[in-house]
Chains A and B, each alone.
Chain A
Amino acid sequence: MASEQRPSYTSLFETVRGVGNLLAPDDFTYYTELPIDTPESQLIVHLSCMAHYTPHIPLLAQKILQKIDLDCLILGGPENCCGELHKHFKDHDLERQTAKIVMNGFRQPKPRKVVSICPDCDEVFSAHGVGRMPYQHSNISDLFIEYLDRLKTHMKPVNMRLVAHFHTANDARQRDARNMMTIMNAVPGLQIIEAQHALGPGVHCQTLHPMPVPDQERMFAEARELGAHAIVVPYHSCYRQHCKMQLKYGITVHHMFNILAMSLSIPFSEPFKEMRLLDDVDAVVEALGSRIQRHGYDKKLIRAQISRAIFC
């Protein structure tokens, strides 16, 4: 059997840059490198590569924090890759170098805490000694637990019946699942329905190891039977895999920050979902036409990138 040809790092990172730029809301800004004179900052939100396909998630994190007068630096782009891609391709020396670069880069503004959007980043950083760094590192869900009491004072009811999708592959992911439930339980008006088929595989639902389709169908069919309006997910990657199911089941897929934003009266758009629900790569290319033109992207190349990033 012929082995699958490995995509180049160039094509993977260029897809992150290209599609990330096309989907980024105008008010979403982040640093790829910190200027030398960056002032000290208590908090860094770290974006992994694929998290750029769902930029509303870090943007919402920032806006939610602003609601309680907390500021953060967002560091992202391929320049802040955690090394997971190199790990996947078994380039372990490159993985190690990449992880060390980004973990050391976080030190510059002397943060108290660094939080990552993606669980793969958590896993890679843990494996490369983030615990020895002079800052705390955790998944972003921890941060919202830390500030939940302050957030509660701003919350308004969200009247919605939800099924919660989650992962339990290890202690860290179980912690994230508990965090999401704690955050959701703090939102007044939400009704979280107990479901039997909402457990995702592995560390998270990701492109290379997605939730198997039969399991995904069971989760949505059950949610519909239970009268759920939505399925809430803890990770950007689960959101990416599942949001297309809205077309078949009429059940909305929300990242947990969407729900939090609704409760905090923070308006938001969901560019990834809007494009995915068009369900046709050419329709997406057309919808993004003016942005493609503004960035000067080659239409054939960006079509292939969109196909890889949005319809995988």
Chain B
Amino acid sequence: MEASWVNVGSEDRFAEGMQTVAVGRQKIVVARLKGRLFAFDALCPHAQGPMERSETEGAIVSCPLHAWRFDLEDGGKELHGYRGLQVHDVKVTDGQVFLAIGS
């Protein structure tokens, strides 16, 4: 299925850190990490931990429940070999942030 780009708001809305946005029934975390924007599913694929409260190390985010660790620069790959995290492409056009949904 081809992804559709969904506008989730103005770029200034997403300061350094993480926040969850709703896209239809889907909850997605938009994270600005050292200035770069990333987007990924709001629930950890292990036990539905709250990814908005992830600990971060560069572009690696760790679920706070059991520290499954996901590399956002490698498609959300889990570093211990467990299931990966769904990541979404992000683009900024005319100051607006768009997420690729349904890819």
Q: Is the CB of B55 within 8 A of A81?
A: no
Residues from chain B with Cβ under 8 Å of A9 in the complex? 55, 62, 64-65, 67
Interface size bucket, B side? 10 to 19
Within 8 Å of chain A (Cβ to Cβ): is B88? no
Q: Which of B41-64 contact A (CB under 8 A)?
A: 46-50, 53, 55, 57, 62, 64
In the assembled complex, the Cα of A227 lies from the Cα of B50 at a distance in Å of 55
**Residues of A within 8 A of B (CB-CB), count:** 18
Within 8 Å of chain B (Cβ to Cβ): is A17? yes
Nearest chain A residue, comparing its CB with the CB of B62: A10
Q: Smallest distance from the beta carbon of B66 to chain A beta carbons, Å?
A: 5
| A79-B66 in contact given A9-B55, A97-B49, A101-B47 (Cβ < 8 Å) | yes
Binary per-residue interface labels of chain B (65-91) against chain A in the complex, 1 for a CB within 8 Å, 0 otherwise: 111010000000000100000000000
Q: Is the CB of B49 within 8 A of A78?
A: no
Nearest chain B residue, comparing its CB with the CB of A105: B47
Partner of A8, one of B46, B50, B55, B80: B55
In the assembled complex, the Cα of A166 lies from the Cα of B57 at a distance in Å of 41
Nearest chain B residue, comparing its CB with the CB of A17: B80
Residues from chain B with Cβ under 8 Å of A14 in the complex? 67
Interface hub of B46, B64, B69 (most chain A Cβ within 10 A): B64
| A91-B67 in contact given A10-B55, A10-B57, A79-B46 (Cβ < 8 Å) | no
Residues from chain A with Cβ under 8 Å of B46 in the complex? 33, 79
Q: Smallest distance from the beta carbon of A296 to chain B beta carbons, Å?
A: 12
Residues from chain B with Cβ under 8 Å of A81 in the complex? 65-66
Q: Which of A1-27 contact B (CB under 8 A)?
A: 8-10, 12-14, 17
Q: Smallest distance from the beta carbon of B57 to chain A beta carbons, Å?
A: 7
Residues from chain A with Cβ under 8 Å of B47 in the complex? 79, 97, 101
In the assembled complex, the Cα of A97 lies from the Cα of B50 at a distance in Å of 10
Q: Which of A50-92 contact B (CB under 8 A)?
A: 77-79, 81, 86, 91
Question: What are 19 inter-chain pairs, A to B, with CB distance below 8 A?
Answer: A8-B62, A9-B62, A9-B65, A9-B67, A10-B57, A10-B62, A12-B67, A33-B46, A77-B66, A79-B46, A79-B47, A81-B66, A86-B65, A94-B53, A94-B65, A97-B50, A98-B65, A101-B47, A101-B48
